[in-house]
Structure 1
Amino acid sequence: MTYQTFDPTALSQPDLHAYLLAAIGPRPIAFASTVDREGRRNLAPFSFFNVFSSNPPIVVFSPARSGRDNTTKHTLDNVLEVPEVVINIVNYALVEQMSLASTAYPKGVDEFIKAGLKPIASQTVRPARVAEAPVALECSVEEVKALGDGPGAGNLIIARVLRIHIQKDYLDADGSLDSSKLDLVARMGGSWYCRAWGDALFEIPKPIRT
């Protein structure tokens, strides 16, 4: 086997970004709903996202600085003003509307309207939920940690889950989330996505413990 080896410090930021995002995937998508101090809604997807603890229930996502002009995302600006967020989970039925919401609209533009999605009131936080999302997590923002101040630098938003909303259609007879019904999507490199559906899903029994 032969390898091409890189020193990350020798690559341009766009090239390093492209290699990392193509290699590390599929990545789940946080469709994050926030508000600014004036109550204006924002909705944007982020694939630097995962769950990191169940006790306490903690999810983390990272809005990165723009690789073009080093500006920050409205989502980051909003959680610094109002430390609350709703993480809406994206399935295949939502993916086109999610993509519409990813457009870099001017501050104050409501992506719920642009993407044709229905906002519904949350129980414990000010940002609205996406009615169409199969799962929505109401969260308080516990900490924001900047990882740098240059183009492409991430900002870890560490959020505690306060409420979990699940559309009943995605539950099985035992009340558990059914992966075969959820039809989740995830990000790959470039403009590529993947879909957790049909033959893409498989089970591997856990090894026998001795």
Structure 2
Amino acid sequence: MGTMGSTTRPYKGRTAEERRTERRGRLLAAGLELWGDHGWAAVTMRGVCAHAGLNDRYFYESFPDVEALLLAVYDQALSDLLTYVERAIASEPLPEERIRAGMSVFVNAMASDSRRARIGLAEPAGSPALEQRRRDTYHLFARFARDSLRPADEEAFTVAMLFALGGAGELVINWLGGSLALTPDELAERASELVLSVILPYL
């Protein structure tokens, strides 16, 4: 009984669960920074722990392996982005304005921190698990757009949206690489125009 109590009682005003959550957050932040700066292949368990200021044993408290950490980092970044997009389009009644608002948020998120683009758009290539997560993400955003815009032909719209999202992603990658002399607002508008040209026939 004493052993169980020692693992659950508050320490410095925080419960064991709160401390575990805080350690997991530090590991995720370290994984994001290392992946964004050096690539996913450079992320190691010991490197993440050292960057987070934690002992190695705490890694396995939250993640079974490095791949699980990478997927969690990816999913957190995706969740944040989806939240921003949802907020941006909530007040826009017209499909065209919803696309423009969503694209503006997407482009500016990538522009404000290029690590997001490396993680979400380009960097997953080479890891089967991360590559599958990226493909799943395109389908997630296609479904999100479908549910938001309510097209008459959902199947045709989904195909068109997947095509448009892939093109928009490549456009952002090239822009971040310096091959397109556009401001973030100009890129968002160009991307919006291209996406709309593809999906409007299905709305």
Bin for the TM-score computed over the shorter chain? under 0.3
Q: Provide the TM-score with structure 2 as the length reference.
A: 0.25
Higher relative contact order (CA 8 A, sep 6+): 1
Q: Provide the TM-score with structure 1 as the length reference.
A: 0.24
- Structure with more helix by fraction: 2
- Structure with more strand by fraction: 1
